[in-house]
Amino acid sequence: MITSGGHLMDEGMYGCIFTPSLRCKNKKDQPISKTPLLSKIISTESAELEYSIASIIRGIPLWKNYFAVATSICEPSLKQTDEDISKCEVITSKPLSAFRILSMTNGGSPLYQYRFQVDSFDMMNFFTHLIGAGALLSLFGIVHRDLHQGNVLVDNETVPRIIDFNLSIIKENVTEDELSHSHNVMLPQESPDATLVNAISLGYKRSQVIRSILLKKPIIKKIRSLLGVSYEKMLHSLDQFTSTSKSMQSGDTLLWFNTYWRTIDSWSIGVIILELLSTFSLWSGFALTITKHKAQLFPLLRRMCAVNPLQRVDCVQALYYLQPNHFIIRKYAKAWMDKVGTGNIQ
> Is the CB of residue 188 less than 8 Å from the CB of residue 275?
yes
Contacts of 245 (CB under 8 A, 6+ apart): 256
Residue 205 lies in a domain: yes
Contacts of 259 (CB under 8 A, 6+ apart): 247
Q: Are residues 128 and 277 in the same domain?
A: yes
What is the separation, in whole angstroms, between the first and last Cα of the chain?
58
> In 10 A of CB 262, how many CB atoms?
23
**The domain boundary residue, chosen from 48, 75, 106:** 106
Where residue 54 sits, what CATH number does that domain have?
3.30.200
Backbone angles phi, psi at 212, to 5 degrees: -65, -40
Cα–Cα nearest to 310, from 343, 339, 274, 272: 343
Residue 41 lies in a domain: yes
Q: Are residues 89 and 153 in the same domain?
A: no
CA–CA–CA angle 303, 305, 306 (5° rounding):
65
Where residue 325 sits, what CATH number does that domain have?
1.10.510
Query: What radius of gyration do the chain's Cα atoms show?
Result: 21
Task: Tell me how far apart the alpha carbons of residues 71 and 101 are, in angstroms, rounded to a whole number.
Answer: 11
Beta bridge partners of 73: 102
Q: What is the pLDDT of residue 78?
A: 83
Q: Are residues 136 and 207 in the same domain?
A: yes
Counting every residue written for the chain, the total comes to 346
Q: Are residues 184 and 53 in the same domain?
A: no
Residue 346 lies in a domain: no
Residue 345 lies in a domain: no
> Is the CB of residue 248 less than 8 Å from the CB of residue 165?
no
Q: Which helix (H) or strand (E) holds 14?
A: none
**The domain boundary residue, chosen from 61, 88, 106:** 106
Q: What is the pLDDT of residue 12?
A: 73
> Is the CB of residue 135 less than 8 Å from the CB of residue 328?
yes
Q: What is the pLDDT of residue 326?
A: 98
Q: Are residues 99 and 128 in the same domain?
A: no
Q: In the chain, count of helices (H) and strands (E)? A: 14, 10
Q: Is the dihedral of CA 287, 319, 116, 122 positive or negative?
A: negative
Q: Are residues 152 and 18 in the same domain?
A: no
Domain that holds residue 53: 7-106
> Is the CB of residue 309 less than 8 Å from the CB of residue 193?
yes
Q: Are residues 45 and 155 in the same domain?
A: no
Q: Are residues 93 and 124 in the same domain?
A: no
> In 10 A of CB 17, how many CB atoms?
23
Q: What is the pLDDT of residue 1?
A: 30
Q: Are residues 138 and 56 in the same domain?
A: no
The pLDDT profile of the chain, 346 residues, written as one tens digit per residue, is 334 456 787 777 778 888 877 889 887 766 555 667 888 999 999 999 999 999 999 999 899 999 999 999 999 988 876 667 778 888 888 888 999 999 998 889 999 999 998 778 999 999 999 999 999 999 999 999 999 999 999 999 999 999 999 899 999 989 999 998 999 999 999 999 999 999 999 999 999 999 999 999 999 999 999 999 999 999 999 999 999 999 999 999 999 999 999 999 999 999 999 999 999 998 888 888 899 999 999 999 999 999 999 999 999 999 999 999 999 999 999 999 999 999 999 8
Q: Are residues 100 and 120 in the same domain?
A: no
Residue 177 lies in a domain: yes
Q: What is the pLDDT of residue 213?
A: 97
Helices (H), the chain: 44-57, 123-139, 176-179, 192-201, 206-216, 218-227, 231-244, 246-250, 253-260, 264-280, 287-304, 315-322, 327-332, 334-340
Domain count, the chain: 2
Q: What is the pLDDT of residue 341?
A: 98
> Is the CB of residue 11 less than 8 Å from the CB of residue 88?
yes
Residue 175 lies in a domain: yes
Q: Are residues 279 and 143 in the same domain?
A: yes
Task: Tell me how far apart the alpha carbons of residues 145 and 68 are, in angstroms, rounded to a whole number.
Answer: 16
Q: Are residues 102 and 115 in the same domain?
A: no
Residue 94 lies in a domain: yes
